[in-house]
Amino acid sequence: MEPIVIKDLVKDFGGFRAVDNLTLTVRDGTFVGFLGPNGAGKTTTIKILTNMLRATSGSVYLNSVDIVENPKEAMSNLGAVVETPEFYQYLTPNETLAYLGELRGMSAESISSRSAEVLETVKMSGWADQRIGKFSKGMKQRIAIAQAILHHPSIIILDEPTSGLDPRGMAEVREILSGLKSEKYTIFMSSHLLSEVQEVCDEVVLIDHGKILRSGSVDNLLGSINIHRIEARTLQQIDNAWLNNISKIEGIEELRASGPASFVFTLKGGDREQAIMLRSLQSMGLDIVSFKRSGIALENLYLSMIKESR
Ligand SMILES: Nc1ncnc2c1ncn2[C@@H]1O[C@H](COP(=O)(O)OP(=O)(O)OP(=O)(O)O)[C@@H](O)[C@H]1O
Ligand SMILES: [Mg+2]
């Protein structure tokens, strides 16, 4: 049984088509990144999947249950985090989870045992009885994840769960999501950051203008990308004279210093081209301490794929 099946989904806002014939299947136990730039249609799609918005046409099945025909049953297996959650500021996480668990028809016992479990999962056990009002945005987001998994759904849908968080908050949320992956949940998460999808997801669906541009495993998508951003660290200080010389090597593009003794550049090709480049740099007399791919070219490629589609 496929956890999420979307067929020919369309959403029009007046004359504007925000979701354009989207068809997509999410397989059991996968962590799918729903990647796209601002305005791509991510939130609109996710609101339809979570029954917050009605589609213009098309259908959505969660565990084979049609969300329009049978919303209650379809939603019973779903946990969601959509938009920055607004909790009652004067309630504690325990009180909030008790209230939400009751709404979802959970028994008092399962609420209390499960609350302890989910707060542990999101590393908020120590805050279970503190008022949410004084929590940071990152802590509130972790509570949002806790409530999403409270009733033990098999599917979790999240709309840009790290948006608006500082780097540490982002890292904490990503770590929790990675942990959920190993707990057999099927996860569908939107993001506009390729690096984030690359870090936590197994599969990626790239969308823009409400249409799918590419989809497949993250490894395949990245493997198909034959351009890399490379960072080299050297024993020498990299001054303008060095930069000037390095820039003359064939194949080096977008070269710049990235520190007193390091530089980055873009290189077309794969392992072979990389090995040849390393040799060329060393033959100039550079003592290379490290030489590795950095993620930035991926962002460039992602932008160029989006640009191509416009
Ligand atoms: N209620 C609405 N009425 C009219 N247009 C809307 C409405 N909601 C969304 N749109 C439009 O639909 C398009 C898709 O919006 P959506 O919020 O789904 O994008 P998104 O991918 O979530 O973007 P972001 O990264 O900014 O969150 C946008 O052009 C947006 O302006
Ligand atoms: Mg959005």
> Do 257 and 152 belong to one domain?
no
Residue 62, φ and ψ in degrees, nearest 5: -110, 120
Q: Could you tell me if 134 and 27 lie in one domain?
A: yes
Q: Is the dihedral of CA 38, 153, 186, 167 positive or negative?
A: positive
Within 6 A (CB) of ligand 1 lie 13, 16, 18, 36, 38-44, 192
Residues 217 and 232 in one domain: no
Q: What is the domain count for the chain? A: 2
Residue 127, CB-side half-sphere exposure with 13 Å CA sphere = 22
CA distances from 8 to 41, 70, 206, 212, 215 (A): 14, 19, 16, 11, 16
Residues 43 and 155 in one domain: yes
173 C-alpha to center of ligand 1: Å?
24
Out of 17, 22, 42, 188, mutate this one to test ligand 1's pocket (max ligand atoms within 8 Å of CB): namely 42
Spatial CB neighbours of 201, under 8 Å, sequence gap ≥ 6: 31, 32, 33, 189, 218
Cα of 263 to ligand 2 centre, how many Å? 35
Q: Assess whether 151 and 16 both reside in one domain.
A: yes
CATH number at residue 9: 3.40.50.300
For 178, the domain range is 4-222
Question: What is the per-residue DSSP string for 220-243?
Answer: HHHHT--EEEEEEEESS---HHHH
Residue 268 alpha carbon to ligand 2 centre in Å: 33
For residue 181, the CA-to-ligand 1 centroid distance in Å is 28
Instruction: Give me 49's structure tokens.
Output: 């999947």
> Quick one: 272 and 195 in the same domain?
no
Residues 159 and 132 in one domain: yes
- Cβ contact 79:4 at 8 Å: no
- Tell me: do 54 and 162 sit in the same domain: yes
- Cβ burial of 108 (10 Å; 0-12, 13-18, 19+) is exposed
Q: Report the SS3 class of residue 106.
A: coil
Q: For the domain that residue 301 is a member of, what is the CATH number?
A: 3.30.70.1560
**Integer distance in angstroms from the first to the last C-alpha of the chain?**
35
Cβ atoms of residues 196 and 204 within 8 Å = no
Q: Is 247 exposed, middle or buried (0-12, 13-18, 19+ CB in 10 A)?
A: middle
Distance CA(213)–CA(191), nearest Å, equals: 15
pLDDT at residue 260 in the model: 94
Q: How far is CA 218 from the centre of its chain?
A: 11
Q: Are residues 243 and 303 in the same domain?
A: yes
Q: Which ligand is nearest to the CA of 207?
A: 1
Residue nearest to atom 7 of ligand 1 (CA): 13
Same domain, 38 and 77: yes
218 and 260 fall within a common domain: no
| Claim to verify: residue 234 and residue 214 sit in the same structural domain | no
**Closest CA to ligand 1's atom 30:** 39
Each residue's pLDDT tens digit in the chain (310 positions)? 899 999 999 999 999 999 999 999 999 999 999 999 889 999 999 999 999 999 999 999 999 999 999 999 999 999 999 976 778 899 999 999 999 999 999 999 999 999 999 999 999 999 999 999 999 999 999 999 999 999 999 999 999 999 989 989 999 999 999 999 888 899 999 998 888 898 899 999 999 999 998 899 987 876 666 778 899 999 999 999 999 999 999 999 889 999 999 999 988 888 899 999 999 999 999 999 999 987 645 566 677 676 666 6
